[in-house]
Structure 1
Amino acid sequence: MSTPITRDELWQTLGRLASGVTIVTAMHAGERRGMTASAVISLSHDPPTLGVAVAHDRKMHALLSQPEVTHFGLNILSSTQKNLSEHFAGKTDPAISLSWFEHEGLPLLGGTIAQIVCRKEQAVPFSDHTLFTGVIEYTRFTDDDPLVYFRGQYHELG
């Protein structure tokens, strides 16, 4: 039998999986919320479905767990939006200018390379995270370059 890997080994290994940087958004009681997320996956083409894993100790987890929250947004960041990723990851910057807009009452972020609106379908608990799945109801995108996260750092393509 092999020796179990340490948490540091896990993070170092999975850090080699380059991922796009996204902000999950939702609205509850008239308040806009967002959270930086990299654990996002396309699950199905028919119906078009994606999933986002959210740790149980995050405020977004409590928000998406509310039955009255029926939709969530996914905003894919451009190469110029590292500051948004850090802001929604908890390194809040009171001077940051957030360019919110709404699609049918759901808050989305302007200037991102894509916005996706999902109707929440399932919440599948697993260990210290829950996988929230959603059927995609709306998309909007540009051809700008994405922000990429690799080996614990932000990168640009090209």
Structure 2
Amino acid sequence: MTHNPGNDATDGISPLEFRQTLGRFASGVTIVTAQDGEERRGMTASAFVSVSLTPPLILVSVDKWAHMHALLGQEDVTHFGVNVLSAAQRHLSDHFAGRPGPDEQVPWFMHERVPLIGGTIAQLVCRKHEVIEAGDHTLYLGFVEYSRYTDDDPLLYFRGQYHELG
């Protein structure tokens, strides 16, 4: 399917058309985590990308209406975590996407004052490196200070649904 934006190409395509088109890009599922005083917070995000090997930089995109946006916007919040979910962790994606299950099912652990989630296939601890305003989202560029990974299978997201490899 193709879309012609009409007479004024500067308007771009509609948000629905944009979402439908980009939904064809399969991605992993991550939980971005940070600490708010004593409270650990997380947000499901598929808008995550590696930016640079040298220096080690990643980027996460956060909606300006998300609770995580307000948290990451605080000057005293200098670090955040990125947790790449395994195929067995669909429930955690739902939990942090606004369909919460019991909090005791979240396998939290701390790494140097940054909350991370156990059982994920990869974990990163990032220092906020740069903050970039981008439309209705803010892009958080993170300098990776710590990583850990396994060889388990990832949880994938494609056309609005979860999938697994194979």
TM bin (shorter chain): over 0.9
1:32 corresponding residue in structure 2 = 40
1:1-158 matches, within 5 Å, as 2-3=5-6, 4-94=12-102, 97-158=105-166
Q: Deviations for 1:66-89, whole angstroms, at most 9, x for unmatched residues?
A: 000010000000001110000000
Q: Deviations for 1:43-67, whole angstroms, at most 9, x for unmatched residues?
A: 1111100010000000000000000
CA distance in 2, matches of 1:91, 1:147: 17
SS for the counterpart of 1:112 is: coil
- The alignment-based identity, stated in percent, is 59
CA distance in 2, matches of 1:134, 1:95: 27
Return the offset for 1:5.
2.5
- Whichever residue aligns with residue 150 of structure 2, its letter is T
User: In angstroms, what is the RMSD of aligned CA positions?
Assistant: 1.3
Q: Deviations for 1:91-134, whole angstroms, at most 9, x for unmatched residues?
A: 01126611111101110000000100001111101111000011
With 6-15 and 38-47 compared, the bigger mean Cα shift is at 6-15
CA distance in 1, matches of 2:64, 2:14: 21
Unpaired runs of at least 5, structure 2: 7-11
CA distance in 1, matches of 2:94, 2:47: 16
- Whichever residue aligns with residue 68 of structure 1, its letter is D
CA distance in 2, matches of 1:2, 1:67: 40
Q: How many residues in Structure 1 have an aligned counterpart in Structure 2?
A: 158
TM-score, normalised to structure 1's length?
A: 0.96
SS for the counterpart of 2:105 is: coil
Unpaired runs of at least 5, structure 1: none
Q: Structure 1 61/95 Cα, relative in aligned 2: closer, same or farther at 3 Å? A: closer
